[in-house]
A = this chain, B = another copy of it.
Amino acid sequence: MNTGINAAAIIGGGVIGGGWVARFLLMGIDVNVYDPDPQAERKITEVLNNARRSLPDLYEHRLPVEGTLVFSDSIEAAVANVDWVSECVPERLELKQKVLNEVQLHCSSSTIVSSSTSGFKPSELQQGSTRPEQIIVAHPFNPVYLIPLVELVGDAETTQNAKQILSKLGCFPLVVRKEIDAHIADRLLEAVWREGLWLVKDGIATTQEIDDAISYGFGLRWAQMGLFETYRIAGGEAGMAHFIKQFGPALEWPWTKLMDVPELSDSLVQTIADQSDAHSGKHSIRELERIRDDNLVAMMRSLKATNWGAGELLNTMDKQLSADAHEAGSYLTTINRTIPSSWTDYNGHMNDSRYSEVFSVASDEVMQSIGANADYIEGGMSYFTVDMHITYNQECHHGDAITVATRIANGQGKKLKLEHAMRNEQGELLASCDQLLIHVDLEARKSCLPLEAVAIELSKLADQHQSLGKPY
């Protein structure tokens, strides 16, 4: 996988900085970190460990070998030879300006220098800079290693370059075309936060009740369609303009207290802290992070099947990761991946049915490699499984790397007989599978001979595999 960059520097190693470190490192990019806090290494390691257990779960292919992490002694040392810099220091304008100035003194003029600021505009960050166009905003969202969105604001060319790099890392870079305080997402978040504080202060709802109103309600909608697309549907066939005209007047009703800011008195702060303890206090922050990450991974993975939103993004990344899986003259390497958390069952290991899922995907890979691909299927031909026999040799667990070697044992006529061997990184056999598929006409839903191009490719591979013997 070529991400187009070799090294990145992260200045400031808190939750956001640590998240950037993880995103780059796990995609195979070397990372230098500068943070004078003596706790920085411990904090970053914690974020990294969370990322290592969840980010690989998003994909059906193995990630590149991790980059090298270096803790630098100075900004100068950190940024000297990198393609990307993320500034992640606390949200104080003078501090950010000082750090960005120091970064520009020592980095190449071709380096992308980004700030993770949630509030400041590029023009503010660039004050006093001799190369202002080099400084952009690249604002990520926690957890940075999972949430795809990164808001990019600043010079058109620099943000386009940044967009290309981040896309290859699996992010969803959104170029904000006009600079504005707090960009886009945080303006929306701020509105909800302000209203939420009023609801708590006025005793209308507890923090848990507000959270429940979100995550059993419009939160589910917004994870896959935003505000406007949701309302487009609500408007129905009458159309969006009709809907707005109907809904519009409510805006002028005195529903919200958004015009006023609730005083953050000690007593309101305490009320919120107490309610939050009552709601979430049974889990430690570490546990909550893992629950959140497992939920996010599971939901994003579930959108792969509908190829929508975050799921479409994961499918694109999977294609990027899948290159060069096959070697000539040996078995086909049909699977090279790690085991996601959601595949674990009550026995604490990969569920028996997931073995069959892996072998099913392995047979899809075989179909790809003989030209029975999406176009072929679109044309009305495919293979159906008629028999599958799995022998389970050994347990495997969340995070384990597995490969499947597949032999074409018979490729004559309508038949495609496959022998799959699933192994772990130590080369130990985890399971074997004999699978028989039959070529079918999708219109008639009946068996038939494959088209010539596929038949030729298939027999070529089957001949190569003839002498190899079973892979298990």
Per-residue contact bits, chain A 172-208, to B (CB 8 Å; 1 contact, 0 not): 1010111011101111111111111101001111011
Q: Is A221 an interface residue (CB 8 A)?
A: yes
Q: Are B291 and A295 in contact (CB under 8 A)?
A: no
A386 to B431 alpha-carbon distance, docked (Å): 9
Q: How far is the CB of A376 from chain B (nearest CB, A)?
A: 10
Interface residues of A in 42-57 (CB under 8 A from B): none
Contacting chain B: which of A128-136, A344-352, A457-465?
A344-352
Q: Which residues of B contact A182 (CB under 8 A)?
A: 255
Over the window 203-235 of chain A, the binary record of Cβ atoms lying under 8 Å from chain B Cβ atoms (1 yes, 0 no) is 111011111111111111111111111101110
Q: Does A285 reach chain B (CB closer than 8 Å)? A: yes
Which of A29-37, A78-86, A240-248 lies at the binding interface? A240-248
Check A388 against B387 for contact (C-beta < 8 Å): no
**A279 to B154 alpha-carbon distance, docked (Å):** 24
The closest CB in chain B to the CB of A384 belongs to B347
The complex places the Cα of A151 from the Cα of B280 at a distance, in Å, of 22
A178's contact among B204, B229, B310, by CB below 8 Å, is which?
B204
Q: Contact at B356–A240, with CB atoms within 8 Å?
A: no
Q: A185-B213, A190-B255, A196-B188 are in contact. Are A233 and B285 (CB under 8 A)?
A: yes
- Check if A294 is an interface residue, CB within 8 A of chain B: yes
A272–B285 touching, CB < 8 Å: no
**Given the complex of chains A and B, what is the CA–CA distance between A188 and B190 in angstroms?**
11
On chain A, which size bracket covers the interface?
35 or more
**A353 smallest CB distance to B (angstroms):** 4
Q: What 1/0 flags go to A147-189 for Cβ under 8 Å of B?
A: 1110100000000000000000000101011101110111111
* Known interface pairs A211-B227, A215-B226; A272-B255 also in contact (CB < 8 Å): no
Report yes or no: B292 in contact with A209, Cβ–Cβ below 8 A: no
Q: Does A95 contact B (CB under 8 A)?
A: no
A288 contacts chain B at the CB level, 8 A cutoff: yes
Smallest beta-carbon distance A318→chain B, Å: 15
- A311 CB to closest chain B CB (Å) equals 8
A374 within 8 A of B: yes
Query: Inside 8 A of A202's CB, which chain B residues have their CB?
Result: 178, 180
User: Which residue of the partner chain B has the closest CB to A224?
Assistant: B295
For residue A259, CB closer than 8 A to chain B, the reply is yes
A215 CB contact (under 8 Å) in B259, B276, B285, B309: B309
User: With an 8 A cutoff between CB atoms, is A264 at the interface?
Assistant: yes
Q: Give the docked Cα–Cα distance between A225 and B395 (Å).
A: 33
Residues A352 and B342 in contact, CB atoms below 8 Å apart:
no
A401 within 8 A of B: no
Given contacts A15-B236, A233-B292, A306-B291, contact A224 B387 (CB under 8 A): no
A289 part of interface (Cβ distance < 8 Å): yes
Option from B141, B229, B248, B302 in Cβ contact (under 8 Å) with A302: B302
Distance in Å: Cβ of A209 to nearest Cβ of chain B: 6
Asked whether, in the complex, the Cβ of B241 is within 8 Å of the Cβ of A226, the reply is: no
Q: How far is the CA of A318 from the CA of B239 in the complex (A)?
A: 37
The distance in angstroms between the C-alpha atoms of A310 and B148, with both chains bound, is: 22
A453: interface (CB < 8 Å): no
Q: Does A468 contact B (CB under 8 A)?
A: no
CB distance from A297 to the nearest CB of B (A): 9
Chain B residues with CB below 8 A from A456, complex form? none
Return A50 CB to nearest CB of chain B, in Å: 11
Instruction: State in angstroms the CA–CA spacing of A285 and B250 once bound together.
Output: 24
Closest 4 CB pairs of A and B: A211-B226, A219-B222, A149-B217, A223-B223
Q: Can you list 27 A-B contacts with CB-CB less than 8 angstroms, sorted by A residue number?
A: A119-B250, A142-B234, A147-B217, A172-B212, A172-B216, A174-B216, A180-B204, A184-B199, A185-B213, A185-B217, A187-B199, A194-B251, A196-B228, A215-B222, A215-B310, A219-B223, A220-B296, A224-B296, A237-B285, A239-B273, A251-B261, A256-B258, A298-B305, A347-B382, A353-B357, A356-B390, A389-B390
A-B contacts besides A185-B214, A215-B222, A348-B442, 19 pairs, CB < 8 Å: A119-B250, A176-B204, A181-B255, A184-B205, A188-B210, A191-B256, A192-B192, A196-B228, A207-B228, A215-B225, A229-B276, A233-B292, A245-B264, A245-B269, A252-B261, A295-B306, A352-B356, A353-B356, A355-B356
